[in-house]
Amino acid sequence: MQNGSGTAARRGARRGIAALAVAVAALMGIAACGGGDSGGGGGDSASDKPTTLKVGVIPIADVAPLYVGIKQGFFKQENLTIQPQLAEGGATITAQTVSGDLQIGFSNVTSLVIASSKKLPVQIVASGVQGAKDDSGAWDAVLSKKGSPIKDLKALEGKTVSVNNLNNVGPLTINNAMEKAGADYKKIKYVEVPFPDANAALDTGRIDAAFVVEPFVSQGKAQGANEVTHSFEETSPSYAVATYFATKQYAAKNKDVLDRFVRAINKSLDYAQSHPDLVRQVVPTYTKIPKDVAAKMSLPQWSADLNQPSIQQTVDLAQKYGFIEDKPDLGELIRPASGS
């Protein structure tokens, strides 16, 4: 019975991929005539020209460095005004970036790999957020209910596991962790449950295990949940979970602007990593995470280093698990460093 569930999950993933492709393709028609550089200036603009950038982000702790950088004046130093645009998820941000409504977006790498494999003109420009170096700093987890016999990856075989999206980093890394542990990932039944609802679904028995990130990891642990695995850390140390991206067209027309953005966000990423107290102050200002929760939860890891080997790993795993058919070229997917 559960072998079929793995097939169902893959079918669901393909439907999700198709939906993303259709949504973005529809919007691409808007930008097909050379649009998409509103607010960014042309390629021949003078260096350091004042520029306003609309940056699509999700209201989660992962994007805290962008807000830290604004607060610390790192973008202002580059003559950039950042206008964060909150969205529900990466698919929406991808569509809005490709259409030209946004100049830069934030999305998990798995979604960008899928988009690139569908020939959508996305290009990674800077690091976004990473998994921890090891389990001790993990901010992701697969949780099982208090008292559940599910304590390891082998025990997930034949069980229903929630993820926030079927064709996303959750099932990708869980499948990988299962394989490494000698367990059969094809026997998992994945279902979509938004992160905020996952612990309740676990508590009521609707699911057997839940893939969540902070602050929902801390919430589940406070209720006595078991940590079955940390799939980001099992996949790779400092695994590249998400990045900032632009369209290839925007990157070609606005090299100077993007160089300035990359310098500022890189400074912001490293500053946020070394100033956790400031991050904990900033997070409640743009998310629904309460101050007391932000003060205690495990923070994501940030670094200006893209960790390209783990991005290649995501490409390889995405093909292996049927998220994509053809691998995108990393040289096309990742914008070359400016050297400045």
Asked if pLDDT for residue 311 goes beyond 70, the answer is: yes
Domains in the chain: ranges and CATH: 10-131+239-333 (3.40.190.10), 134-235 (3.40.190.10)
Q: What is the mean pLDDT of the chain?
A: 88
* pLDDT computed for residue 338 by the predictor: 65
Pairing of strands 209-213, 160-163: parallel
Asked if pLDDT for residue 209 goes beyond 70, the answer is: yes
Report pLDDT digits (tens) over 268-281.
999 999 999 999 99
CA distances 331 to 98, 163, 174, 230, 319, Å, are 19, 30, 27, 30, 17
Asked if pLDDT for residue 152 goes beyond 80, the answer is: yes
Asked if pLDDT for residue 90 goes beyond 90, the answer is: no
Q: Name the 3-class secondary structure at 118.
A: coil
Task: For the chain, give the percent of residues with pLDDT over 70.
Answer: 85
Q: Name the 3-class secondary structure at 244.
A: strand
- Total-model pTM: 0.86
Q: How confident is the model at residue 167 (pLDDT cuts 50, 70, 90)?
A: confident
More confident residue, 30 or 60: 60
* pLDDT computed for residue 20 by the predictor: 56
CA nearest neighbour of 177 among 199, 148, 144, 155:
155
Asked if pLDDT for residue 8 goes beyond 60, the answer is: no
CA nearest neighbour of 115 among 210, 36, 20:
20
What would the mean pLDDT of 325-330 be, rounded to a whole number? 94
**Do 157 and 182 form a contact (C-beta atoms < 8 A)?**
no
* pLDDT computed for residue 32 by the predictor: 33
